[in-house]
């Protein structure tokens, strides 16, 4: 900042005395010194102004350099992303097919996936109620009396070695002895003639009560298979038969879902397992003894048999009838797993030994047209952004596409194919 040139000159007040102004003692001013001070200050101001201008110029140059560097680097990292919507078509399907497990050039081939497991569930007892149940079991009856069969009516009384009476549940016939003298035998379900736990028993020997006093009494006999159980009389907390049936159905459904999920996780890439092409076979169902609180545990063992198909081969078979004029290799079905599979003659098929099947597929398959994404990239490299729509017209299997180029001010595609990315927006 410039200084006041006259800051060293003091104001002089004249003193008046007896109407006479007296000249004060005024110091002498060196005018040359004042001029020198003025020149020095002027030079300082000019120097400060020159330094300020130089700094301003340097900042402008630096800013221009940064902007230039930014643009240069951004062009080096130029990227282009094309999001493509392929051509699609939805067609109604309701068609019968045949497939074989053995390899054949003419027929569609299937593979069979087999998975086994079990599922258990604790069934809690309900509220306390009156129960009146007869003990039940199974007996093997023997005919050592003659070679002629012996018929027993329903509710035939059997006398157990425990002195209690049990009855047959159905009418049954005991075969006669063979020529070697080996007695004929037959199994029959029995139940206690009186409800109650006192008829529950370990294995017993039996005689036909009606044959007492005859020669048949000693030679027509029976032995129980396992324990006789289930007899109950009084109040108890028990699982009802209705609850057992409902629980077993739920366990079977849960086991089927569990096995299907396992099967799907093991299917090779490129194969399809339809929801309705998997079938559960119940191998065994066990019910645990009733616990002290009246609850039981039901365990179901089962095996899932699933028909799986090569997706490309199945698509070809479908397309031959639906779109005979199209090139099959340019198509695929995006929702093929949603088609409904229906197996013919399911009741007569032995899944463990099946060789050929007939089935129906129905639904609304969505046909998707393929295109060569690699060729699209090569067609776009180094081309002007304004050529994009014209290039897309050369791809009839593309319904539409959106383009994003970075940096946004770049008006052309990158020069390298690896910097051009194609994303297919599949339905």
Per-residue pLDDT of the chain (427 residues; tens, 9 = 90+): 444 444 444 444 444 444 444 444 545 545 555 455 555 555 555 555 555 566 677 777 766 766 555 555 555 568 999 999 999 999 999 999 999 997 766 789 999 999 999 999 998 876 667 778 899 999 999 999 999 999 999 999 999 999 999 999 999 999 999 999 999 999 999 999 999 999 999 999 999 999 999 999 999 999 999 999 988 887 767 777 888 899 999 999 999 999 999 999 999 999 999 999 999 999 999 988 877 777 889 999 999 999 999 998 999 899 887 888 777 777 889 999 999 999 998 888 999 899 999 999 999 999 999 899 999 999 999 999 999 999 999 999 999 999 999 888 888 999 899 999 999 887 7
User: What tokens appear for 303 in the block?
Assistant: 């095996």
* Rounded distance between C-alpha atoms, residue 405 and residue 421, angstroms: 10
- Extents of the domains making up the chain: 1-76, 77-89+369-424, 100-123+239-314+338-358, 129-236
Contact residues for 263 (Cβ-Cβ < 8 A; gap 6+): 113, 115, 273, 278, 304, 306
Give the angle 309-310-311 at the CA atoms, nearest 5°: 100
Three-class DSSP category at 225:
coil
Q: Residue 120's closest CA among 282, 251, 281?
A: 251
Residue 271: predicted pLDDT? 95
Residue 1: predicted pLDDT? 42
Contact residues for 10 (Cβ-Cβ < 8 A; gap 6+): none
User: What tokens appear for 320 in the block?
Assistant: 């031959």
- For residue 407, cis peptide bond before it (omega within 30 degrees of 0): yes
Kindly report the three-state secondary structure assignment for every residue of 86-127. Answer: ECEEECCEEEEEEEECCCCCCCEEEEEEEEEEEEEEEECCCC
User: What tokens appear for 40 in the block?
Assistant: 């020095």
Output phi, psi for 148, to 5 deg: -85, 140
* Rounded distance between C-alpha atoms, residue 117 and residue 265, angstroms: 15
Q: Residue 255's closest CA among 283, 223, 218?
A: 283
What contacts 24+ positions apart, CB below 8 Å, involve 379-382? 380/80, 380/82, 380/413, 380/420, 381/413, 381/414, 381/415, 381/416, 381/417, 381/420, 382/412, 382/413, 382/414, 382/415
**Other C-beta atoms lying within 10 Å of the C-beta of residue 67:** 10
Three-class DSSP category at 260:
helix
Report the predicted TM-score, pTM, of the whole model to 2 decimal places.
Answer: 0.57
* Rounded distance between C-alpha atoms, residue 34 and residue 13, angstroms: 22
User: What tokens appear for 292 in the block?
Assistant: 């002290």
* Rounded distance between C-alpha atoms, residue 312 and residue 270, angstroms: 7
């Amino acid at each position: 900042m410039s200084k006041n040139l006259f800051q060293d000159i003091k104001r002089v007040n004249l003193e008046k005395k007896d109407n006479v102004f007296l000249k004060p003692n005024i110091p002498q001013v060196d005018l040359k010194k004042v001029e020198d001070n003025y020149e020095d200050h002027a030079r300082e101001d000019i120097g400060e102004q020159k330094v300020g201008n130089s700094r301003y110029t340097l900042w402008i140059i630096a800013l221009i350099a940064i902007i230039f560097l930014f643009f240069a680097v951004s062009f080096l990292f130029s990227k282009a992303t094309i999001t493509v919507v392929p051509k699609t078509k939805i067609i109604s399907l309701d068609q019968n097919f045949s497939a074989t497990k053995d390899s054949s050039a003419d027929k569609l081939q299937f593979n069979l996936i087999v998975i086994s497991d079990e599922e258990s569930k604790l069934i809690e007892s309900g509220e306390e109620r009156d129960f009146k149940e007869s003990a039940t079991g199974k007996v093997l009856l023997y005919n050592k009396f003659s070679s002629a069969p012996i018929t027993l009516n329903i509710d035939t009384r059997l006398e157990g070695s425990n002195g209690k009476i049990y009855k047959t549940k159905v009418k049954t016939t005991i075969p006669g002895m063979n020529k070697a003298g080996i007695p004929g035998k037959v199994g029959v379900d029995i139940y206690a003639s009186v409800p109650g736990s006192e008829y529950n028993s370990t294995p017993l020997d039996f005689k036909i009560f009606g044959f007492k006093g005859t020669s048949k009494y000693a030679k027509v006999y029976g032995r129980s298979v396992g324990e006789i159980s289930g007899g109950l009389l009084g109040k108890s907390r028990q699982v009802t038969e209705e609850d057992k049936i409902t629980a077993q159905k739920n366990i079977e459904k849960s086991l089927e879902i569990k096995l299907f999920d396992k099967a799907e996780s093991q299917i090779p890439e490129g194969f399809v397992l339809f929801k309705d092409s998997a079938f559960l076979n119940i191998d065994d169902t066990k019910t645990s003894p009733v616990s002290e609180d009246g609850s039981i545990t039901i365990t179901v063992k089962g095996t899932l048999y699933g028909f799986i198909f090569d997706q490309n081969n199945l698509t070809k078979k479908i397309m031959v009838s639906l779109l005979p004029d199209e090139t099959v290799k340019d198509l695929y079905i995006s929702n093929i797993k949603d088609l409904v599979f229906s197996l013919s003659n399911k009741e007569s098929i032995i899944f463990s030994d099946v060789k050929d099947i007939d089935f129906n597929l129905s639904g609304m398959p969505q046909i998707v047209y393929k295109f060569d994404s690699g060729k699209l990239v090569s067609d776009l490299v180094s081309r002007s952004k304004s050529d994009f729509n014209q290039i897309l017209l050369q791809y009839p299997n593309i319904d539409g596409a959106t383009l994003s180029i970075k940096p946004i001010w770049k008006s052309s595609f990158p020069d390298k194919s690896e910097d051009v990315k194609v994303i297919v927006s599949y339905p």
